[in-house]
Structure 1
Amino acid sequence: MFALDRHASFFQHSLRLLPYHYTQTDTTRLALIFFCVSALDLLGYLPLGNQQCSSKSKITKDEVEHWKEWVYATCLLPTRDAFRCSPATAVPHYDYSLPTSHGDKLDYDVGHIAGTYFALCILIILRDDFSRLDRVGMMRWLRKCQRADGSFAAGVLRSKSNALSDNLEEKFGERDLRFGYCAAAARWLIGGDILARKNVVEDIDIDRVLGYIASCVSYEGGIAMGPYAEGHAGGGYCGVGTVSLLSQGKVRNVLGDVVVDALVRWSLMHQVYAEVDLESDSEDESDSEVTSVSSADMSLRRPMTDIPAGFTGRVNKPADTCYCFWSGATLEMLDVPGTSLPSSITGSLRLSDIRSNVMFLLTQTQNTMIGGFSKVAGAHPDLMHAYLGVAALAMCADVIREQGGPEKFVKDDAEGDVIASILPLKSVDGALCLSTSAKQYAEVLRAKWEKE
């Protein structure tokens, strides 16, 4: 069964006091907070506006306001155009009221594109109106983060140490699709496209973004994190999510039928079943003897209804909780190829084995004792996999509701109760990695900005 209350307790405790082993991740604290806040939103444990909150929730509206104020007070730059990933990366003991000529410390207290995405998502979930942000300045900052090839850097570092320039700007961070996705999501959340359409500020170079994503399409049909690299489910999500956010969901119109159909096939073929040698009686058989094969191949050899199946990110890797979301959300954003089926919120995700995906998450990686989900079976739950496990199940619940209920996905009544236990989860928007209700609130803000 889906341990909803245990999961809610897991995320609430994590928000209030993290275990010591998260110390090494303190520089990405906004990401950890996002996982907790967004998970509690999907679980129905946040008292937001007029929304009905679970009677078991111990979270108060004052606590929600405190989280919102904390994000602004500790992670928003003094320029109000970007966020740090954590207060740990702020320059200490510096008076920001002083002009930058009094010191160069401000030049190293810079925004991070992933931190900005996480901060905006947290604030949208908590129903903030972004009135304290410099949205125009943030769009200018996003443009500075874009490289000539269309990709995005993590941020821009200002340096005064170069003798040839009084203010040299240098981009930093990896060159892959993750930062491009964060930029596209941030642009959408702050209504950057609206500002550009009104000629208030210049837009990012969308053609170059799309061109860079096209260069990351791999020979086998997936999307890699960079050109000429191996297809990866995370790269597929970031690439498709970026295109969806920049094109108002018209992914097929941008990428074309050949690329989209190949990506649907590639994603579906990465749903795998754990194959264990049941004839072996060896007591010292290790986990390394457990392999994964595609659901299509496995169904020919053993009844697939008896084996839970999740998604893997790359070839010859085991099923992993996080890829149940990355691959699932990618499929959700891609419409069903070669059919005249009406559009839906679940797209090609309906073509996957929903039942086996749910059973994989609930029986293999869910921790029913303390809550949360682990990366793989037998591991300790962590915040990222815990959140993505909840989000993946929320997407599966969307398919189940859309297709008429649990009875179409089970083989007996007992299993029907297990599948039905995920239905209280709120609907999730794959492109933004947020609840649909949070996206709807963002759309209200965007409609307001359109009229201004």
Structure 2
Amino acid sequence: MTDNQLLKEKHVEYIINLDKKKEDFEYWVTEHLRMNGMYWGLSALSILNSIDKMNKEETIEWVLSCQQPNGGFSGNNQHDDHLLSTLSAVQILLQFDALDRLNIDAVVDYVVSLQQPDGSFFGDRWGEVDTRFTYCAVSILSLLNKLDKINQDKVVEFIGKCRNFDGGYGCLPGAESHAGQTFTCIGTLAILHRLHEIDIDTIGWWLCERQLPNGGLNGRPEKSSDVCYSWWVLSSLSAIDRLHWIDQDKLRSYIIDCQDQETGGIADKPQDLPDVFHTFFGLCGLSLMGYYNLEHIDPVYALPTKTLRKLKHLNLTWNKH
């Protein structure tokens, strides 16, 4: 692509048509991720100022149908509950101003039950631990104004154990630094107003080193660029006020080159097929950098800033918009 045009209308069309492709293999092989996919698609439409294109009532009813007896949400009907899909459910309902239809106490009890003595969280009853799940739990409780229900100091202590010598964070103590895990840890500390726990310049340098000569970002050293890191890296840099440390014009060009000019949507790399995951995170990157007059996405909660401002209990101290 020779110019820097964002194909807004094509992206909207691509997203609203995703649920109509029920003859595609990809539709069924990803059915367990439907809640996450719904959040990515809805939030992308919100960034594009087109949330009204989604069938609000039908979506709300489907989301609520996925709540399990234990309070958690599954990725789709007849699937198991998980913190990942529970956060997506809360994020969807919040964007539709439908939190009043949620059994909040049941959700809170579910999340609280998954915290472990060391401050970490299981993703579900099967016992996997990952900093992603810590972020999900803290984000859910923060959005619902129930952070007092967990041991926050233990959460911070666990996150601290996942920090490495390079400033980055892994999924567990001793695990390799990764941009996605770094976002979950910085996001968790930001929500808990504990960003002072971070060596900001060290992690800022590690994050800005994720930019490659083609303008794109990778998740860790020696890996190729991928559009999704336009979120994982930029959100972290934005939260610690180091967004200016990368070449934003080069990154914009990389994201634009990953657009599908025929169908709409954004792919992981130029010339690859688009998907809703990379479409959302590509748009997030452009939003964080302030291009194309897109709706601003909050770098910590991954929700539109205008949506979060409806929650009077939130203190978005990192948000300059």
- Give the TM-score normalised by the residue count of structure 1: 0.66
Matched, 1:358 2:252: yes
Bigger Rg over Cα? 1
Matched, 1:25 2:16: no
Determine the structure 1 residue equivalent to 2:231. Answer: 325
Determine the structure 1 residue equivalent to 2:15. Answer: 11
Give the conservation status (yes or no) of the 8 Å contact 2:21–2:27: no
Determine the structure 2 residue equivalent to 1:103. Answer: none
Give the conservation status (yes or no) of the 8 Å contact 2:6–2:292: no
Matched, 1:75 2:31: no
Determine the structure 2 residue equivalent to 1:161. Answer: none
Give the conservation status (yes or no) of the 8 Å contact 1:26–1:88: no
Q: Which structure features the higher share of strand residues?
A: 1
How many residue pairs match? The answer is 310
Q: What is the CA-CA distance between 1:351 and the residue it aligns to?
A: 2.1
Matched, 1:229 2:175: yes
Q: CA RMSD in A?
A: 1.8
Query: 2:301 is paired with a residue of what secondary structure?
Result: coil
Determine the structure 2 residue equivalent to 1:86. Answer: 76
Query: 1:131 is paired with a residue of what secondary structure?
Result: helix
What is the CA–CA distance in structure 1 between the aligned matches of 2:314 and 2:104, rounded to whole Å?
12
Determine the structure 1 residue equivalent to 2:191. Answer: 245
Amino acid at match of 2:229: Y
Give the conservation status (yes or no) of the 8 Å contact 1:15–1:36: no
Q: What is the CA-CA distance between 1:350 and the residue it aligns to?
A: 2.1
357 and 41 in structure 1: CA distance in 2 versus 1, 3 angstrom threshold: same
What is the CA–CA distance in structure 1 between the aligned matches of 2:313 and 2:62, rounded to whole Å?
22
Q: What is the CA-CA distance between 1:139 and the residue it aligns to?
A: 2.2
Q: What is the CA-CA distance between 1:446 and the residue it aligns to?
A: 6.6
1:174 to 103, 128, 133: 128
132 and 423 in structure 1: CA distance in 2 versus 1, 3 angstrom threshold: same
Determine the structure 2 residue equivalent to 1:303. Answer: none
Determine the structure 2 residue equivalent to 1:349. Answer: 243
Amino acid at match of 1:429: D
Amino acid at match of 1:241: G
Q: What is the CA-CA distance between 1:173 and the residue it aligns to?
A: 4.5
Amino acid at match of 1:182: C
Q: What is the CA-CA distance between 1:25 and the residue it aligns to?
A: 1.5
Amino acid at match of 2:89: A
Give the conservation status (yes or no) of the 8 Å contact 1:366–1:372: yes
Q: How does 1:46-65 map to 2 (within 5 A)?
A: 46-47=51-52, 59=53, 63-65=55-57
Matched, 1:187 2:141: yes
Q: What is the CA-CA distance between 1:444 and the residue it aligns to?
A: 4.2
Q: What is the CA-CA distance between 1:2 and the residue it aligns to?
A: 0.5
Query: 1:321 is paired with a residue of what secondary structure?
Result: coil
Matched, 1:124 2:94: yes
Determine the structure 2 residue equivalent to 1:373. Answer: 266
Determine the structure 2 residue equivalent to 1:433. Answer: 302
What is the CA–CA distance in structure 2 between the aligned matches of 1:331 and 1:85, rounded to whole Å?
30
Determine the structure 1 residue equivalent to 2:293. Answer: 424
The ranges of structure 1 where at least 4 consecutive aligned residues each deviate by more than 6 angstroms after the TM superposition are none
Q: What is the CA-CA distance between 1:174 and the residue it aligns to?
A: 2.6
Give the conservation status (yes or no) of the 8 Å contact 2:210–2:221: yes
Unaligned runs of 5+ in 2: 316-321
208 and 77 in structure 1: CA distance in 2 versus 1, 3 angstrom threshold: same
Q: How does 1:142-157 map to 2 (within 5 A)?
A: 142-156=111-125
Query: 2:216 is paired with a residue of what secondary structure?
Result: strand
Determine the structure 1 residue equivalent to 2:150. Answer: 204
* Residue-by-residue CA offset, 1:121-176 (whole Å, 9 max, x unaligned): 01111121x223332332222121012221111123xxxxxxxxxxxxxxx24321
Query: 2:213 is paired with a residue of what secondary structure?
Result: strand
445 and 150 in structure 1: CA distance in 2 versus 1, 3 angstrom threshold: closer
What is the CA–CA distance in structure 1 between the aligned matches of 2:274 and 2:127, rounded to whole Å?
28
Determine the structure 2 residue equivalent to 1:414. Answer: none
Give the conservation status (yes or no) of the 8 Å contact 2:32–2:75: yes
1:388 to 281, 288, 291: 281
Amino acid at match of 1:185: S
What is the CA–CA distance in structure 1 between the aligned matches of 2:242 and 2:141, rounded to whole Å?
26
Give the conservation status (yes or no) of the 8 Å contact 1:177–1:213: yes
Q: What is the CA-CA distance between 1:358 and the residue it aligns to?
A: 0.3
Determine the structure 2 residue equivalent to 1:285. Answer: none
Give the conservation status (yes or no) of the 8 Å contact 1:177–1:225: yes
Amino acid at match of 2:301: L
1:264 to 204, 219, 222: 204
Query: 1:36 is paired with a residue of what secondary structure?
Result: helix
